[in-house]
Structure 1
Amino acid sequence: MNDIVLQTHGLVKRFGGITATNNVSMTLRRGARHALIGPNGAGKTTLINQLTGVLPPTEGRVELGGQDITALAAHRRVALGLVRTFQINQLWPSLTPAQSLALVVSQRLGRSRRWWRPLGADDAVLAEVATLLTQFHLDEQAHRATRELPYGKRRLLEIALAVALQPRVLLLDEPAAGVPAAERGEILATVAALPADVSVLLIEHDMDLVFSFATTMTVLVNGTVLTEGTPEAIAADPQVRAVYLGDSMAGIRPGH
């Protein structure tokens, strides 16, 4: 059985005379814990925008579960199970985590016209929301307005909302960005505990998070794939150290 869930073939994106991604071919397998790393300006966000349908590639194609989705709109990719979180969280400030999750779950179940009803009015939605609140350590904040939550909790809520869509592929775009050091451990543990059947592509600069989570890593430099391999191989690669990791690897052991 083919276990490839997401694949790119020779993706190129040009902006005038600038080539932001250059012949990027990458494979994400079922249940993957795959990290995409590289210096600022490497083309990571441009690549993710092509995967999600925000930007059309100049050349190349994107396949989800063997289906060519290169020309599909972003919302149609979400419906097929390709879901993304963002570097800057995209939340409803006035809603509580429970309300936000109820809205997304109701929409997914085709009950979006009734999302505003009291949570207890729909047992299926209520049960799923309760599970998600516990899974993402949001029980105590369930009924506080999102704008009042600590930043780390807002990041957790954003991941919870993405998981509520039951994705086949989850793209985590810098989930630890802006999170205070004291709250990063919770982000790390929650990402590590994501459902095993969800294939995850993580874009992240926090090397503690990357090396504790990923089993495969792709290094992007100047829009081109420099190398790909296990965390151990990437950590030991002199090219990667020279162009990106450098001293940031001090004290980090892959898998810990």
Structure 2
Amino acid sequence: MSDEIVLSALGLVKRFGGITATQNVTLNLRRGARHALIGPNGAGKTTLINLLTGVLEPSEGRIVLEGQDITTLAPHQRVRRGMVRTFQINQLFASMTPLETIALVVSQQRGLGARWWPSLGADKAVAERAAALLEQFHLAEVADQRTEHLAYGKRRLLEIAIALACEPRVLLLDEPVAGVPAGEREELLQTVAALPADVSVLLIEHDMDLVFSFADRMTVLVNGAVLTEGSPDEIANDPEVKAVYLGHGEEAAHG
């Protein structure tokens, strides 16, 4: 991990009517980082990610990606600039196979647009990249199955593969193991651990085993504000963080 900051949230505030969901949040993601964003339910993690990705517009503050202010950019423009978030498989992909899905994303990424299907056979680079992603994400053996028939863990792997097919420089991993049965988790955990070193990752996750095995930096959100930030060791031994997670103290009661 270098000292270069690739993504900054600077004094972000988000108000919904009289409720302040995000309170003056500042967060810096360094190049190559494995940075976890944690906190109790209602801490404001999802709101913050929605602000970073452009789903929501901040009431105050700004967002800087690789030196460029992106506060007012639409979500698709942020993706084009290299910031990608894992997302739930939507209806568009349910009837497609992982191979078709990845080929489509790779083709769009390379400017081939709607010509994706002919290019799957004709464009060697697209075919090779799609095959490599399917292999990397343990999807090769289910490459020709309809996505709606895949095991849940495989669908989560496909989400991350889609995100990687967009060639991100910053990847927002949104609870990758949420809802994944125990028997399907190991593959997913290994895949997350093996993400490319040059991709800076911000992980939002409740699974503390995953967080502590993955992260080299952690930010703790409580009631929409940053409680503390530090290394995994510092966070693990922080009495305030322990109080929040053990359900003691005012923060936990309102989390």
**Aligned-partner Cα distance in 2 for 1:182–1:106:** 33
Counterpart of 2:186 in structure 1 is 185
CA contact (8 A) 2:103 2:130 kept: yes
Q: Identify if the C-alpha distance between structure 1 residues 114 and 235 changes in structure 2 by more than 3 Å, giving closer, same or farther.
A: same
Distance 1:34 1:56 in 2: 23
Q: Note the alpha carbon deviations across 1:104-130, whole angstroms, 9 max, x for none.
A: 000000111211226222101000001
Taking structure 1 as reference, are residues 17 and 146 closer, same or farther at Cα in structure 2, changes over 3 Å only?
same
What does residue range 48-197 of structure 1 map to in structure 2 within 5 Å?
Answer: 48-86=49-87, 88-90=88-90, 92-117=93-118, 119-197=120-198
How many angstroms apart in 2 are the aligned matches of 1:118 and 1:196? Answer: 29
Alignment partners' CA distance in 2, 1:209 and 1:156: 15
CA distance in 1, matches of 2:120, 2:72: 38
Which secondary structure state, in structure 1, belongs to the residue aligned with residue 93 of structure 2?
A: coil
Equivalents in 2 of 1:131, 1:82: separation in Å?
A: 21
2:223 corresponds to which letter in structure 1? Answer: N
Moved more, 128-137 or 114-123: 114-123
**Cα offset, 1:185, TM superposition:** 1.3
What displacement does 1:246 show?
Answer: 6.4
- Please give the alpha-carbon distance, in whole angstroms, between the structure 2 residues aligned to 1:84 and 1:199: 12
2:121 match: secondary structure: helix
Query: In structure 1, what residue type is equivalent to 2:19?
Result: I
Secondary structure class of the residue paired with 2:118: coil
The amino acid across from 2:78 in the alignment is R
- Secondary structure at the aligned position of 2:37 is classed as strand
- Secondary structure, aligned partner of 1:143: coil
Whole-Å separation in 1 of the counterparts to 2:3 and 2:209: 32
| Map of 2:218 onto structure 1 | 217
Supply the distance in 2 between the matched residues of 1:89 and 1:46 (Cα, whole angstroms).
Answer: 20
Aligned residues: 246
Q: Aligned AA for 2:18?
A: G
Whole-angstrom CA distance in 1 between matches of 2:202 and 2:150: 26
Aligned twin of 1:24: 25
- In structure 1, what is the Cα distance between the partners aligned to 2:133 and 2:151? 18
Displacement of 1:245: 5.3
Give the aligned residue type for 1:141: V
Structure 1 pair 101/115, CA: closer, same or farther in 2 (3 Å)?
Answer: same
- What stretches of structure 1 move > 6 A for 4+ residues in a row? none
Q: Deviations over 1:83-104 (max 9, x none)?
A: 0013x44460111100000000
Pair 1:2–1:231, CA change in 2 (3 A): closer
- How much identity, in percent, do the aligned residues show? 70
Q: Unaligned stretches of 5+ in structure 2?
A: 249-255
Name the CA distance, whole Å, in 1 between partners of 2:221 and 2:48.
10
Aligned amino acid, residue 183 of structure 2: A
Question: What CA RMSD, in Å, does the superposition of the two structures yield over aligned residues?
Answer: 1.5
CA contact 2:6–2:29 (8 Å) conserved in 1: yes
Give 1:33's aligned residue. 34
Give, in whole Å, the separation in 1 of the partners of 2:5 and 2:240.
28
